Amino acid sequence: MAKKPKFDFDLIVIGTGAGGSAAATIAAREGKRVAVVEADTFGGDSPNWSDVPTKALLHAAQLYDEARHGARFGLRSSAMSYNYPSIRAWKELAVKRTGAGGNRKYYENEGIATFHGRAHFLSPNEISVNRRHISGEFFLLATGSTWTLPDIQGLDLINYLTPRTILEAIRPPKTLYIIGGGSIGVEIAQLMAIFGTKVYIADIASRILPHEDEDVGKLMEQLLSTQKGVTVLTQTRTLAVEKENIAKRVTYTRGGVEHSIRVDEVLVAAGRVPAVDLGLENAGVEYTPKGVEVNEHLQTSAKHIYAAGDILGRSNSFTHTALLESRIAAHNILQKNKAAPDYTASPRLTFTFPGIASVGLSENECIKRDLQVKVGLSPLNIIARSNTSDFRDGFVKIIADKRGTVLGATVVAPHAAEIIHELALAVRYELTAAEVANTPHAFLSWSEAVRVAASRIQV
């Protein structure tokens, strides 16, 4: 008689977003007994609440904006209008079509047991979910992160929006104050401004998009303020928020002067915190409020428990990074030879128009590391495509070491997310700027700016 397995499952994955889904599927297809536990919506953040819906809305907004300004091409489009409920319906369709949102059935079809509820460790190999106890030989922690509330007086007393809840808005607010000038804050600022919202975007840093190359923040501030009427408040500390009838009053200081404005809505996009409230101390897993600690193989201090995605609390919290970590964690759980994730060429993206994409080291990071670098810069307006598309605002910047090896790059251009990949290859495989420049680039493509920037690095 076959002896009863020691544990209910070979692998229990906590969280069904990008950090958990890949590993669960890989292990199940290898014949392992797998369970997934999800406290929120199956599929996690990316298909339900962030990447997919926001990019679907941004696509519609950018199309509308382009069409509305079509007079310069001879298009009679100034009387264009939009129907926001229909735009929301389009967003819902995009979410539905990915198949990854609310996808409990997908896991069940893969032979994976699904549990809906909060997981809490009782011991190193046992968790409870809705008072039910389940045990596993291995675990993968992939609970992601949640938007955090900055320390602003009165914020907890008002109905504020987050990048998740604004997706459910019936219509764009007339006025909106955004706290946080990172990628998501800037995407939402542009999205809402196109639909007629008067937007204020505030950040404590000296520029918006503070994690990108300095020139990126300057250019985007200029484009948002001149073309979209967005008020960009850099070096600004938001002090207090209070209800004022149906509106909100925001008080902030900038340059030592206190200001106060009245807005319809306040949106908080000022950082995320890893979701570590899982009773990890009962499992012997070391963590801090900043995230779970892992070794290079994504193993926690409890060797049978791995972690992937935003729960690690790292700055490279992109969906493609979480997927990479999830695949590595699955490999390490299933195989004897352990692998480590290679982050060298993970692109960083902001889906504004123009798009922003970067890879590798920025100029500032090289300066901080005392690296001697060469910089090749190509403004978009010097390539032919900027003429035929009548679009001039953007650039390609390539950073190389003194031997000409590409260390990093930034692209601000239409289709930046697509253009960045040849530069990611260059970073990953240590190509020189000359090798990139000598590769034929198609005439009238935006990518010609990459060739020009690379050719400007002289060794």
Q: How many CB atoms lie within 10 A of CB 327?
A: 17
pLDDT surpassing 90 at residue 79: no
Provide the pLDDT for residue 1. Answer: 56
Structural domains of the chain ordered from first start: 9-44+101-146+273-334 (3.50.50.60), 52-91 (no CATH), 155-270 (3.50.50.60), 348-455 (3.30.390.30)
Per-residue pLDDT tens digits for 165-194: 999 999 999 999 999 999 999 999 999 999
- Mean pLDDT value across residues 89-105: 91
pLDDT surpassing 70 at residue 107: yes
Secondary structure (DSSP) of 272-332:
EEE--TTTGGGGT--EETTEE---TTSB-SSTTEEE-GGGG--S---HHHHHHHHHHHHHH
pLDDT surpassing 70 at residue 207: yes
pLDDT surpassing 90 at residue 316: no
Q: In DSSP terms, which residues pair with 123 in a beta bridge? A: 126
Element (DSSP H or E) covering residue 87: helix 84-98
Degrees to nearest 5, angle at CA 431 with 430 and 437: 155
pLDDT surpassing 60 at residue 334: yes
433 confidence band (pLDDT: 50, 70, 90):
very high
Smallest CA-to-CA distance from 384 within 319, 443, 452 is with 443
Measured distance between the N- and C-terminal CA atoms of the chain, rounded to whole angstroms: 72
- Mean pLDDT value across residues 360-370: 91
